[in-house]
A and B are shown apart, each in its own frame.
Chain A
Amino acid sequence: DTGVSQNPRHKITKRGQNVTFRCDPISEHNRLYWYRQTLGQGPEFLTYFQNEAQLEKSRLLSDRFSAERPKGSFSTLEIQRTEQGDSAMYLCASSPGTANTGELFFGEGSRLTVL
Chain B
Amino acid sequence: QKEVEQDPGPLSVPEGAIVSLNCTYSNSAFQYFMWYRQYSRKGPELLMYTYSSGNKEDGRFTAQVDKSSKYISLFIRDSQPSDSATYLCAMRATGGGNKLTFGTGTQLKVEL
Binding site for B on A (CB under 8 A): 4, 31, 33, 40-45, 48, 50, 55-56, 91, 93, 95, 99-109
CA distance A11 to B99 in the complex (A): 26
Cβ–Cβ contact A103 & B34, under 8 A: yes
15 extra interchain contacts, Cβ-Cβ under 8 A, other than A4-B43, A93-B43? A40-B104, A41-B104, A42-B4, A42-B105, A45-B99, A45-B101, A48-B97, A50-B97, A56-B97, A91-B43, A102-B49, A102-B92, A104-B100, A108-B43, A109-B42
Q: A41-B104, A101-B49, A102-B34 are in contact. Are A109 and B97 (CB under 8 A)?
A: no
Q: A40-B8, A102-B32, A102-B34 are in contact. Are A95 and B104 (CB under 8 A)?
A: no
**Residues in B neighbouring A106, C-beta threshold 8 A:** 43-45
Cβ–Cβ contact A108 & B49, under 8 A: no
Binding site for A on B (CB under 8 A): 4, 6, 8, 32, 34, 41-46, 49, 51, 88, 90, 92, 97-105
**Residues in A neighbouring B103, C-beta threshold 8 A:** 42
**Residues in A neighbouring B44, C-beta threshold 8 A:** 43, 91, 106
Cβ–Cβ contact B97 & A43, under 8 A: no
**Residues in B neighbouring A101, C-beta threshold 8 A:** 32, 34, 46, 49
Give the tally of cross-chain contacts (CB within 8 A): 66
CA distance A55 to B88 in the complex (A): 25
**Residues in B neighbouring A102, C-beta threshold 8 A:** 32, 34, 49, 92, 98, 100
Report 12 cross-chain contacts, Cβ distance below 8 Å, ordered by A residue.
Answer: A33-B98, A33-B99, A41-B105, A43-B88, A45-B99, A45-B101, A102-B34, A102-B92, A102-B100, A103-B34, A104-B98, A106-B43
**Residues in A neighbouring B34, C-beta threshold 8 A:** 101-103
**Residues in A neighbouring B32, C-beta threshold 8 A:** 101-102
